[in-house]
A and B are shown apart, each in its own frame.
Chain A
Amino acid sequence: MMSLSRHPLERETVPGPTPVPAVARTVPSEPALVARDLSFAYGRGRGQGIHHVNLTVARGETVAVMGPNGSGKTTLLKVLAGVRPRSGGAVDVCPGAARRRGQVGYIPQQLGLVRTRSALENVLLGSLCRTGFARSLFGLYHPEEIAKAEALLARVGLADKTARRVGELSGGERQRVAIARTFLQRPDVLLADEFTSNLDIVKAGEILDVMREFTREGMGTVLVFHNVELAREYADRILFLREGRVAEVHDARTVTHEMARGLLS
């Protein structure tokens, strides 16, 4: 009746605080996401679109996307997420592996949370890819999923706020709900569009730390950043876009402020 798809790296029990291993940040080989010659154009010159973008993201790797305003960062993410149709090229998630629902997790800049529902209900949306029609009809979720959702909320520090309506939470709290939702989904690839932009740098760092804990478990991640420091700290590679095309790609640690300034203006 209901199949819980098994993610290759899914844990059996609810995890407690995990010691963060001090090893190389990238896991070798297996790509999580391969984008080839990706293009999307808005009709008649409305906004930039993207042109012939190539990108490969390995499992466990974090790629930052940066660029001046209008360079197509959000569009690229939306096309990768499947939220915008492509006008050219292809996107392959975990090439060679079987397709399943919910392989790609997407967090838009405004988070896309249902404001009138509680934090727990929003996190549970992440399990919809594993929930059958009958349960959905009655608004029910598998008790295992509910337990996992509660554990995730606890892990992001919102254990006491699970029943609060999302509209009543602060910006930082809502971002943590959005992260928890995505991690309940257990995607192979996470795409997040600069969702820390309206947090101060300390809070943004905290949220990204939480995210890093999860991504070390094997998710490929593409994040849009506006802040070079955050990008250097949390990404393995930085992709610079300009006018919808890939201008340059650098190893995150080699990017200096001068370089960034030049590439972002």
Chain B
Amino acid sequence: MPAAVLVLAALVVYSLDDLGFFDQERLARAGENFVRYAPEFVPAPLDDHFQTLLWDAIRETLQMAFLGTLLGALIGLPLAVLAARPLTGPVVSRGVRLFLAFVRTVPSLVWALFFIILFGLGPIPGVLGITLYTVGFVGKLYYESLEGLDPDVLEAVRATGATRFQLVRHAAIPEAANAAVSHILYAFEYNIRASSVLGFVGAGGIGLLLDHYKGLLDYHRLVTTILVLFALVVAIDAASRFIRKRYLLQAETAAGAS
């Protein structure tokens, strides 16, 4: 055990050095810059115009994340059903799984860039980028839930003489419904942050505002915008927790009832 720790420590120190963390000059300069720029990081007051811009940006970000998540789920959930090995067999499921992995590997940012080429700047490429990534993201989570379903239920329903389609429709999907909603909520939270990043490539929302102020070197407004984004993420997190507690069967109660 101690040997492993030493090796790890050695690797850390080596990498830090290699990447320039021990460069005295740079560290000193960073210190100077921090002192010099500190006053710039004071958030700007919210005048009317600024507020309007922020509210518009928040609305756009929410809409992008909302649409992207729902569209992504609408496509991803059925694909996940096809990707679940116990439901469609080894060949079909492998093909669909590969597709989902591909779609998920390409970050929404790259998808958005691709769509910007097609559609020009604005929220449309943002929504499409989020949608595609969400297909892979929700798809994977959902097929993993489907594969982890209680085999007893599937066996019992199969034994009633149900066709594979009926098994999926009447047993697998209802059993995994809880998990599906949970995954969609998780994807929505993730996509709020993703949509703000997309703004940097012109896809609208808060990200666009961030990019705008960065370009103008207006760090006061930039910081305020970041704080607003932070507040938005916290609010969404809280709303999501509330929805889960209220409407979803938590793992413990589900197990307790059986």
Contacts and interface: CB of A to CB of B under 8 A. Distances in A.
Interface string B145-165: 000001011111111111101
Contacts of B249: 116, 167
Nearest to B253: A167
Nearest to B159: A106
A167 B165 contact: no
Given A116-B249, A139-B169, A168-B257, A129 B162 contact: yes
B10 interface: no
Interface in A217-247: none
Chain A interface: which size bin?
35 or more
Contacts of B152: 108-112
Interface stretch (B38-46, B89-97, B125-133, B170-178): B170-178
Interface in B198-238: none
Contact of B166 (A81, A82, A128): A128
A114 B160 contact: no
A102 B161 CA distance: 4
B162 A112 contact: no
B258 A128 contact: no
B254 interface: yes
A173 to B, nearest CB: 12
Contacts of A110: 150, 152, 258
Contact of A128 (B150, B154, B161, B177): B161
A110 B155 CA distance: 11
A117 B173 CA distance: 11
A110 B161 CA distance: 19
Contacts of A167: 249, 254, 257-258
B161 A185 contact: yes
Nearest to A129: B161
Given A105-B159, A129-B161, A167-B254, A112 B169 contact: no
B172 to A, nearest CB: 9
Contacts of B258: 110, 115, 167
Contacts of A83: 155, 158-159
A67 interface: no
A117 B171 CA distance: 9
Contacts of B163: 101, 128, 133, 136
A83 B162 CA distance: 13
Contact of B175 (A114, A129, A178): A114
Given A104-B159, A125-B160, A185-B161, A113 B153 contact: yes
Contacts of A109: 152
Contacts of A107: 156
A125 B170 contact: yes
A103 interface: yes
B156 A131 contact: no
21 contacts: A82-B159, A83-B155, A83-B158, A102-B161, A104-B159, A108-B152, A109-B152, A111-B152, A111-B156, A112-B155, A112-B156, A112-B157, A114-B175, A115-B257, A116-B174, A116-B175, A116-B178, A117-B174, A136-B165, A137-B169, A167-B249
